[in-house]
């Protein structure tokens, strides 16, 4: 069989992942510059600087890929979306927590992108990007542990024995007594609690500094819904006397001077809310108790509606950059 030597064009999946990464990294790069300007702790500064280096390298590489394929470079975010001179909105502690959570997002997003890549250059690129996210996660986790900030998931007693589920009661949970929560179910729930906690702090801070009344109103609504979800998921652990993650609302300062544009803040929160549906879905898939699965199904619907309203607000203000679209052949035929 002859070797295929021609250069294949970039696939829609590869284009989508590069385009999305450009949006996220352009926002991240300006946020990180602001964070670095205000951070005091030298160890945390090193984590932020490493994260910034990753984002800037990604942006330059994506520009190369798109230019070579004759695609336009997205606008993303610019210097107009950040005010570096603004006072600190979050404490050093929260900045480290935020980077830790975002590195988890990166590992999830880039493992998916790697699985969608067909061309060798794309596969190698996203493999490198994924490796960088892992390295950032390792670095952030190490500093969190050193400073005693990290919230570790609950531990179980080690007097377990190998057993097989014998009754359908293993799945039940609607009425009366149900079995204790499993380690698998705790895993997904605890991660979602950590992610909710991180969003709540952002929504609290952004609602405090946003210029637009509509954006402030949206941030406050998002905070209220995320706090409700935090309480609901917390109760599933506390019911079995398991601890929940530490919260960080006190790490928001009293500044009312916006460090970021309303566009950037809305983009970040809407993106995090949209991705939460995926994390909720993953946790739901690991739930064997019907009541826990039903809880996640309800939370997915609620946060999905909230994310949709956020996207509508972005569109209303012409802040949402349109991703590449398939050719509209019907429109082309009408123009002839």
Both 206 and 140 in one domain: the answer is no
pLDDT band at 50 (very low <50, low <70, confident <90, very high): very high
> Does 334 map to a domain?
no
Give 336 or 317, the one with higher predicted confidence.
Answer: 317
Both 182 and 139 in one domain: the answer is no
Both 204 and 312 in one domain: the answer is yes
Both 208 and 270 in one domain: the answer is yes
> Does 311 map to a domain?
yes
pLDDT band at 1 (very low <50, low <70, confident <90, very high): very low
Q: What is the pLDDT of residues 241-283, one digit of tens each?
A: 999 999 999 999 999 999 999 999 999 999 999 999 999 999 9
pLDDT band at 325 (very low <50, low <70, confident <90, very high): confident
Answer yes or no: is pLDDT of 29 > 90.
Answer: yes
Both 120 and 175 in one domain: the answer is no
Instruction: For residues 54 and 130, give the distance between their C-alpha atoms in angstroms, rounded to a whole number.
Output: 11
Please give the tally of structural domains in the chain: 2
> Does 2 map to a domain?
no
> Does 336 map to a domain?
no
Both 239 and 298 in one domain: the answer is yes
Answer yes or no: is pLDDT of 172 > 70.
Answer: no
Both 124 and 173 in one domain: the answer is no
High-pLDDT (> 70) share of the chain, %: 92
Q: Which of 146, 161, 181 is the last residue of a domain?
A: 146
> Does 48 map to a domain?
yes
> Does 156 map to a domain?
no
Q: What is the CATH number of the domain that holds 104?
A: 1.20.1260.10
Residue 158: CB partners within 8 Å, gap ≥ 6?
Answer: none
Predicted confidence at residue 327, as pLDDT, reads 81
Instruction: Look up the domain containing 76 and give its range.
Output: 12-146
Answer yes or no: is pLDDT of 73 > 70.
Answer: yes
Both 215 and 113 in one domain: the answer is no
Q: What is the mean pLDDT of residues 127-150?
A: 96
Instruction: For residues 111 and 99, give the distance between their C-alpha atoms in angstroms, rounded to a whole number.
Output: 18
pLDDT band at 216 (very low <50, low <70, confident <90, very high): very high
Predicted confidence at residue 287, as pLDDT, reads 85
Q: What is the pLDDT of residues 91-132, one digit of tens each?
A: 999 999 999 999 999 999 999 999 999 999 999 999 999 999
> Does 322 map to a domain?
no
Both 175 and 118 in one domain: the answer is no
High-pLDDT (> 90) share of the chain, %: 80
Answer yes or no: is pLDDT of 47 > 50.
Answer: yes
Both 73 and 187 in one domain: the answer is no
> Does 109 map to a domain?
yes
Buried b (16+ CB within 10 A) or exposed e, 97-135: bbbbbbbbbbbbbbeebbeebeeeebbebbeebbebbee
Predicted confidence at residue 179, as pLDDT, reads 75
Q: Which of 82, 112, 146 is the last residue of a domain?
A: 146
Instruction: For residues 157 and 218, give the distance between their C-alpha atoms in angstroms, rounded to a whole number.
Output: 43
Both 123 and 213 in one domain: the answer is no
Q: What is the mean pLDDT of residues 82-96?
A: 97
Instruction: For residues 69 and 124, give the distance between their C-alpha atoms in angstroms, rounded to a whole number.
Output: 17
């Amino acid at each position: 069989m002859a070797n295929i030597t021609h250069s294949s064009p970039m696939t829609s999946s590869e284009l989508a992942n590069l385009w999305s990464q450009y949006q996220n990294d352009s926002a991240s790069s300006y946020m990180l510059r602001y964070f670095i300007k205000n951070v005091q702790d030298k160890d945390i500064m090193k984590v932020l600087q490493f994260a910034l280096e990753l984002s800037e390298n990604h942006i330059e590489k994506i520009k190369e890929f798109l230019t070579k394929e004759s695609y336009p470079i997205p606008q993303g975010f610019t210097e107009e979306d950040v005010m570096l001179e603004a006072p600190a909105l979050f404490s050093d502690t929260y900045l480290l927590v935020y980077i830790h959570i975002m590195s988890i997002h990166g590992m999830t997003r880039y493992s998916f992108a790697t699985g969608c890549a067909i061309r060798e250059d794309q596969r190698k690129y996203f493999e490198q990007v994924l490796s960088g996210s892992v390295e950032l996660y390792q670095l952030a986790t190490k500093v969190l542990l050193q400073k005693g900030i990290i919230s570790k998931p609950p531990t179980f007693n080690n007097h377990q024995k190998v057993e097989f589920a014998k009754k359908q009661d293993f799945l039940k949970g609607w009425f009366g007594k149900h079995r204790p929560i499993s380690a698998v179910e705790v895993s997904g729930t605890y991660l979602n609690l950590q992610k909710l906690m991180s969003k709540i702090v952002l929504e609290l801070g952004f609602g405090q500094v946003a210029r637009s009344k509509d954006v402030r109103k949206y941030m406050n609504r998002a905070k209220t819904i995320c706090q409700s979800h935090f309480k609901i998921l917390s109760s599933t652990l506390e019911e079995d006397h398991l601890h929940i993650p530490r919260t960080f609302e006190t790490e928001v300062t009293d500044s009312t001077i916006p460090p970021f544009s309303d566009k950037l803040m809305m983009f970040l929160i809407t993106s995090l809310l949209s991705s939460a549906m995926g994390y909720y879905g993953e946790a739901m898939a690991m739930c064997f108790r019907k009541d826990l699965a039903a809880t996640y199904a309800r939370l997915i619907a609620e946060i999905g509606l909230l994310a949709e309203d956020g996207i509508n607000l972005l569109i209303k203000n012409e802040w949402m950059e349109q991703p590449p679209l398939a050719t509209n052949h019907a429109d082309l035929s009408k123009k002839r």
